[in-house]
Amino acid sequence: MAMSSSITAVSRLVHLTPSISNPKPFLSPKPLFTLFSLKSSSYSPILSSSSLNSSSSSSSSAAAANSSITMSYDKQLVAAKKAASLAARLCQNVQKGLLQSDVHSKSDKSPVTVADYGSQVLVSFVLQKELPDQAFSLVAEEDSGDLRKEESQETLQRITKLVNDTIANDGSYKVSPLSEGDVLTIIDSGMSEGGPNGQHWVLDPIDGTKGFLRGDQYAIALGLLDEGKVVLGVLACPNLPLESIASANQTALNKASAGCLFSAQLSCGTYMESLDGSPPVKVHVSNTENPEEASFFESYEAAHSSHSLSGSIAKKLGVKAPPVRIDSQAKYGALSRGDGAIYLRFPNKGYREKIWDHAAGYIVVAEAGGVATDAAGEPLDFSKGRYLDLDTGIIVTNRKLMPALLKAVQDSLKEEVLPSL
Ligand code: AMP
Ligand code: MG
């Protein structure tokens, strides 16, 4: 059922934009990325994207060399990095000159911007362009409902222009401009239900929209599920500096110019590069076992996660540093490179976490040696559809600190009841 809705969306897309349905393998007119051997500590280049569409013997032999890898997702990873980078470019341009008219309220009163929609269109477009031979299923946050209303005409035109300009400036895809109808159809390609069977992309086109609106942290978060497990994840964090933010305050963060791209594939580790294309470096979570040396991340928005509960957990654990409060899955990215050792997330009772708010971050941290569980210590289960079914909250840290953290969480939860939504 999940697959059938997305296949319908794609076939409508194919009907509307014949250029997207071209079954010939896509050949980039210029190299998009240079891949680096994931097994090599010296990061020697092994192939460029211009060879990606022929079968990649180097990458498959690298994968075969590791007996724990049963399946390589190299091609999907390249496509995901391209998709998230292009979406990040659109978001950066919108954030630079955000207009009042670019921001709208969804039915649940949460904000959505032209960049959320534009990012979702670009990611879906690029994935389908780069992987033309693969069945496409996308579980994504936005849908076209509000944009189909009469009063949204101008907004839809603005999104369509932003997407077409971004594709044209990039120059990788020789396609005629997308129409407004194409844009609506592509947005709705994200309506898959996911689930335990087959492969599903999972996208938050702008995670941390409130941070995006403040000019702070946000992320384009893209993961891939295979048989219910997260096997790949990419986090584009346009406002996250390449340097550690362990003790940075928000003002210092806002001055950062770079922007990071984290990428992880099952059994291959987590890598970070700059959004403007520096060589990837392998990252690892902090290996501290001493809570006194550990700092912790939490949401900037107190409405998303109880600051008082995390304060009590940190105190019980013996954490000395003040919390680092930033928006979005940039927290998972920062944790994966050891900027802090703990991430605590405790929404109000009754809040249902969505898979796109955690899938990419989950594997970015796991492949960097960390672990994310619910408040009962159970692994996160991404196979249940669009929502995570979990107990109370999400906690993330390294393997050494997890037992002590779990005890502090459970003790604190006995003393403090989370408010209901
Ligand atoms: P963060 O930036 O880490 O606070 O998380 C951002 C995400 O929180 C958004 O993408 C929303 O999906 C999600 N969110 C929205 N409302 C709530 C809520 N009441 N409690 C927890 N998370 C929420
Ligand atoms: Mg989100």
List domains and CATH numbers for the chain: 73-282 (3.30.540.10), 291-417 (3.40.190.80)
The residues, ordered by sequence, that sit 6+ positions from 43 with a Cβ below 8 Å of its Cβ are 36, 37, 279, 280, 281, 282
Nearest ligand, CA of residue 393? Answer: 1
Nearest ligand, CA of residue 334? Answer: 1
Number of neighbours of residue 250 by Cβ within 10 angstroms: 16
Confidence at residue 206, expressed as pLDDT on a 0 to 100 scale: 98
Pairing label, strands 342-345, 324-325: unpaired
Band (pLDDT 50/70/90 cuts) for residue 360 is very high
In terms of pLDDT, which residue wins out, 173 or 253? Answer: 173
- The closest of 379, 3, 1, 8 to 200, measured between CA atoms, is 3
Confidence at residue 162, expressed as pLDDT on a 0 to 100 scale: 96
Tell me which residue has its CA closest to atom 20 in ligand 1: 304
β partners of residue 234: 222, 263
- Cα 57 to averaged position of ligand 2 atoms, centre (Å): 37
Exposure letters 157-187 (e unless 16+ CB within 10 A, then b): ebbbbbbbebbeebebbebeebeeebbbbbb
Tell me which residue has its CA closest to atom 16 in ligand 1: 304
Confidence at residue 24, expressed as pLDDT on a 0 to 100 scale: 30
- Concerning whether 391 is annotated as a catalytic residue, the answer is no
From 298, 357, 365, mutation site for ligand 1 pocket: most ligand atoms within 8 A of C-beta: 357
Instruction: Report the predicted TM-score, pTM, of the whole model to 2 decimal places.
Output: 0.84
* Mean pLDDT, all residues of the chain: 84
The residues, ordered by sequence, that sit 6+ positions from 333 with a Cβ below 8 Å of its Cβ are 219, 235, 237, 240, 260, 262, 272, 361, 364
Catalytic residue among 17, 113, 155, 209, which? 209
- Concerning whether 170 is annotated as a catalytic residue, the answer is no
3-state secondary structure of 122: helix
Q: Which atom of ligand 1 is nearest to the CA of 298?
A: 3
Pocket of ligand 1 (CB under 6 A): 110, 204, 207-208, 211, 299, 301, 303-304, 327-328, 347-348, 351, 354, 357
* Confidence check: pLDDT of 399 > 90: yes
Number of neighbours of residue 193 by Cβ within 10 angstroms: 16
- Cα 408 to averaged position of ligand 2 atoms, centre (Å): 27
Q: Is 206 annotated as a binding residue?
A: yes
Confidence at residue 96, expressed as pLDDT on a 0 to 100 scale: 84
Name the least confident of 102-116, 176-190, 264-278, 327-341.
102-116
Expressed in angstroms, the distance from the first to the final Cα of the chain is 31
Confidence at residue 363, expressed as pLDDT on a 0 to 100 scale: 98
Tell me which amino acid residue 9 is: A
* Confidence check: pLDDT of 343 > 90: yes
Tell me which residue has its CA closest to atom 13 in ligand 1: 304
- Cα 301 to averaged position of ligand 1 atoms, centre (Å): 8
Name the least confident of 206-220, 239-253, 359-373.
239-253
Tell me which residue has its CA closest to atom 6 in ligand 1: 208
Tell me which amino acid residue 237 is: C
Q: Which atom of ligand 1 is nearest to the CA of 301?
A: 4
Query: How would you class 65 by CB atoms within 10 Å of its CB: exposed for 0-12, middle for 13-18, buried for 19 or more?
Result: exposed
Q: What angle do CA 195, 297, 379 make, to 5 degrees?
A: 30
Q: Per-residue pLDDT tens for 289-304?
A: 999 999 999 999 999 9
Confidence at residue 112, expressed as pLDDT on a 0 to 100 scale: 84
**Cα radius of gyration rounded to whole Å, the chain:** 21
Cross-sheet strand order for the sheet of 269-274 = 138-140, 199-207, 219-226, 229-237, 260-265, 269-274, 281-283
- The closest of 188, 193, 186, 201 to 14, measured between CA atoms, is 186
Q: Enumerate long-range contacts of 375-383, CB under 8 Å, 24 or more apart.
A: 375/346, 375/409, 375/410, 375/413, 377/402, 377/406, 381/228, 382/194, 382/202, 382/223, 382/225, 382/228, 382/229, 382/230, 382/355, 382/358, 383/194, 383/195, 383/196, 383/225, 383/227, 383/228, 383/229
β partners of residue 219: 207
Nearest ligand, CA of residue 106? Answer: 1
Band (pLDDT 50/70/90 cuts) for residue 70 is low
Q: Per-residue pLDDT tens for 128-169?
A: 999 999 999 999 999 999 999 999 999 999 999 999 999 999
Q: Per-residue pLDDT tens for 160-184?
A: 999 999 999 999 999 999 999 999 9
CA distance 287 to 292: 13
* Token digits of residue 302: 């107190």
Confidence at residue 5, expressed as pLDDT on a 0 to 100 scale: 38
- Cα 62 to averaged position of ligand 2 atoms, centre (Å): 34
> Do residues 117 and 259 touch, judged by C-beta distance below 8 A?
no
Q: Which atom of ligand 1 is nearest to the CA of 329?
A: 3
Number of neighbours of residue 417 by Cβ within 10 angstroms: 9
From 301, 392, 395, mutation site for ligand 1 pocket: most ligand atoms within 8 A of C-beta: 301
> Do residues 277 and 46 touch, judged by C-beta distance below 8 A?
no
- Cα 20 to averaged position of ligand 1 atoms, centre (Å): 34
3-state secondary structure of 264: strand
- The closest of 127, 103, 134, 136 to 117, measured between CA atoms, is 103
Tell me which residue has its CA closest to atom 10 in ligand 1: 207
**Phi, psi dihedral angles at 144 (to 5 degrees):** -90, 0
Confidence at residue 16, expressed as pLDDT on a 0 to 100 scale: 30
3-state secondary structure of 234: strand
Band (pLDDT 50/70/90 cuts) for residue 4 is very low
* Confidence check: pLDDT of 238 > 50: yes
* Token digits of residue 22: 């071209």
Confidence at residue 10, expressed as pLDDT on a 0 to 100 scale: 33
* Confidence check: pLDDT of 35 > 50: no
Tell me which residue has its CA closest to atom 8 in ligand 1: 304
* Confidence check: pLDDT of 42 > 60: no
Catalytic residue among 116, 182, 327, 374, which? 116
* Confidence check: pLDDT of 44 > 80: no
In terms of pLDDT, which residue wins out, 209 or 96? Answer: 209
Pairing label, strands 296-298, 324-325: parallel
